[in-house]
Structure 1
Amino acid sequence: MAAHESGYVEGPSRTIRPWTSLPSRTLLSLLSPGGRDSRLSILIYHRVLPHPDTLFPDESDAVNFDQQMKQLVACFNVIPLIDAVQGLNRGKLPSRAACITFDDGYADNAEIALPILQKHGLHATFFVASSFLDGGRMWNDTVIELVRRAPGPELDLSSVGLGQFQIGSIPQRRQAIHYLLGELKYMGLESRKAKVEAMCTLVPVLPPRNLMMTSDQVRVLHRAGMEIGGHTANHPILSGMENNTARAEIAQGKEMLEGITRAPVRLFAYPNGKPGRDYLSDHVRILKGLGFDGAVSTAYGVAKKDCDVFQLPRFTPWGRGLARFTLQMARNMLATPEIV
């Protein structure tokens, strides 16, 4: 087995044939011709784990991600997102245009995803929530790791108003996590922080402190030619904030990343990213005022000429299997994106 300095380890060599590459390209070319009628597919990833996670089996791992990247190379023209933004403005995109993006700033993006991207000669944009770098942890990961590691078959959070849960099986733990994330997601930053801290006092485990990238890892991505994009400082839901506070969050994240990379941060990803719910038209105007060139949402669909480059749609290719991956990409091309 060959180990990369980054920490990604290749398994035994084996041939993985892209799923029916020629028929796939033919179908996708019909759905996504070049030029003025082009359709841009933008993929979202968050983590690329070293091994499959029994708690979240649909999360990407090294082998699955490697297969998907090989399929992308075979069936799509993968281009940098900043080039895609410019191409959309000019009506000059290649057929089957696609971009790869990552949200949040997980350490495995640099340790595992980067070597795989380099292996296939691919470019990606990494949207980093800057305040969690260098030993921080996002609130949702704290919740996930608390429930994952909690001892016993029951979890009692009723004293902090979050209920009681049976966690004796993997599906029960997954269900508890899903419920807790839904309950906490749209709370104000301070209220949510207090709830999560209270959870930490009740559950006798220590969540990991190395989930997010270090500043040096951000620099490694940048030096490798990857784009570093803004994702705010603290990953708040922008629609729940005053505009001045939202602007400060966006500006702070941008400035921190520019200080790390010594390069302009030109692209942005809205936290959570649902148009009209997680961000509003005011936030689009804020981004333009701060000098960004474009932004991405989490609305399904593909971008076309004359679309708002500050509300580019994206989707996550959940699940496994190259046939399913390609069909998901094709189906997404037929979706109509939401905008605000």
Structure 2
Amino acid sequence: MNTKQDTVMATFSQRFISAVLPRVLGTDSPRRLSILLYHRVLAERDPFLSQAPTIAEFDWQMRLLASHFAPLPLSEALERVEAGTLPRRAVAVTFDDGYADNLLNALPVLNKYGVPATVFVSTRFIDGGLMWNDAVRESLRGMPPGRLELADLGLGDYSVDDIDSRRAAIREITREIKYRTPAQRQAVVDALAARASELPSDLMLSRAQLQALAAAGVEIGGHTVNHPILATLEADEAEWEIAQGRRDLEALLGSPPGLFAYPNGKRGEDFLDIHADLVRRAGYSAAVTTDWGVSTAASDRYLLPRFTPWDATAQRFLLRMLLNERHMR
């Protein structure tokens, strides 16, 4: 969909939402907090990142939130949950990992509609780093056409002749190595990078960009150092990742972050209850997951649910918001 089509669809959708949302949600809905999860906001459509919103899509999503919900900074929202002063239709916007486009593309839209946000940053990738999943994608994006044979790394034989085959290879390789040890995963990343053209060095926030986000009022939260799947680590390794990431951000920003996001974030799969205790002991006041749901006064502050609005129209965005309301945590 091009920018003009996005604008037309957004205008139609906004009128639709304005007409039906008050009837659907009502004025006496329970005091629940919806926490939205984003990663990136793209300048234009990317066939290798089909679920990431463009600036135009993010614009109508934030306009919808500003018009029909009550956007709050996550830390304030959690305080108001406990105090019993949370407004109806409360929502908090969060971003994971620390991509540069959070500053370049998302922040202008957030400021346009007065929507606060929290960005959870994995500190190793500041100033030119690349997360392993991004390295897989960008390696295959820039790889010469042909066959990619990775049997020596416990993987398969993949076609990379066109966009569709490359996308399929990215999905399969990512799935296969996701829960390997960091060293095993890095071996695959290195092998792919050796077959590809030069990888980008500006996907993640620089130190100056991170500080600019914080100066603009964006809340910065911890997200470990290396973005590991905590459930695959020994307890002492997980403890270091959680605590060191907090220390890194304190050194960069002058104060320690109060909020934490579990990498990948599925309880019992990506992190365990012991890790929630490690987060608390590291000094964080709350932590968010990627399990669906809404937060209430009864929610565990270290197991707060979030959901991702991967929707191309405002109607579907609204439907996902409503479905999420049924998944209380």
Return the TM-score normalized by structure 2.
0.93
Q: 2:25 aligns with which of 23, 28, 52?
A: 28
AA aligned to 2:137 is I
Between the two proteins, what is the percent identity of the paired residues?
A: 42
TM-aligned CA deviation for residue 297 of structure 1: 0.1
In the TM superposition, structure 1's runs of 4+ consecutive aligned residues that sit over 4 Å from their partners are none
For the pair 1:190 / 2:187, whether they are aligned, the reply is: no
TM-aligned CA deviation for residue 20 of structure 1: 2.2
Within 5 Å, give how 1:51-200 maps onto structure 2: 51-200=44-193
Whole-angstrom CA distance in 1 between matches of 2:78 and 2:106: 23
TM-aligned CA deviation for residue 283 of structure 1: 1.0
Asked if the contact 1:29–1:95 (Cα under 8 Å) also holds between the matched residues in 2, the reply is: no
Asked if the contact 1:107–1:213 (Cα under 8 Å) also holds between the matched residues in 2, the reply is: yes
Q: 1:305 aligns with which of 274, 297, 306?
A: 297
For the pair 1:260 / 2:257, whether they are aligned, the reply is: no
List runs of 5+ in structure 1 lacking aligned partners. 1-9
SS in 1 for 2:155: coil
TM-aligned CA deviation for residue 265 of structure 1: 0.3
1:3 aligned residue: none
Asked if the contact 1:49–1:60 (Cα under 8 Å) also holds between the matched residues in 2, the reply is: yes
TM-aligned CA deviation for residue 190 of structure 1: 1.5
AA aligned to 2:103 is A
Q: Deviations 1:93-116 (Å, cap 9, x if unpaired)?
A: 110010000000001111111111
List runs of 5+ in structure 2 lacking aligned partners. none
Whole-angstrom CA distance in 1 between matches of 2:326 and 2:146: 44
Q: 1:294 aligns with which of 275, 279, 286?
A: 286
SS in 1 for 2:140: helix
Whole-angstrom CA distance in 2 between matches of 1:25 and 1:243: 48
Q: Once structures 1 and 2 are overlaid, which stretch shifts more, 95-104 or 178-187?
A: 178-187
SS in 1 for 2:111: helix
AA aligned to 1:62 is I
Asked if the contact 1:297–1:311 (Cα under 8 Å) also holds between the matched residues in 2, the reply is: yes
**Over aligned residue pairs, what C-alpha RMSD do you find?**
2.0
Whole-angstrom CA distance in 1 between matches of 2:19 and 2:132: 44
SS in 1 for 2:96: strand
Asked if the contact 2:246–2:257 (Cα under 8 Å) also holds between the matched residues in 1, the reply is: yes
2:35 aligned residue: 42
TM-aligned CA deviation for residue 91 of structure 1: 2.6
Return the TM-score normalized by structure 1.
0.90
Whole-angstrom CA distance in 2 between matches of 1:259 and 1:26: 48
2:325 aligned residue: 333
TM-aligned CA deviation for residue 157 of structure 1: 2.2
Whole-angstrom CA distance in 2 between matches of 1:29 and 1:303: 19
Asked if the contact 2:140–2:196 (Cα under 8 Å) also holds between the matched residues in 1, the reply is: no
Which is helix-richer, 1 or 2?
A: 2
TM-aligned CA deviation for residue 254 of structure 1: 0.6
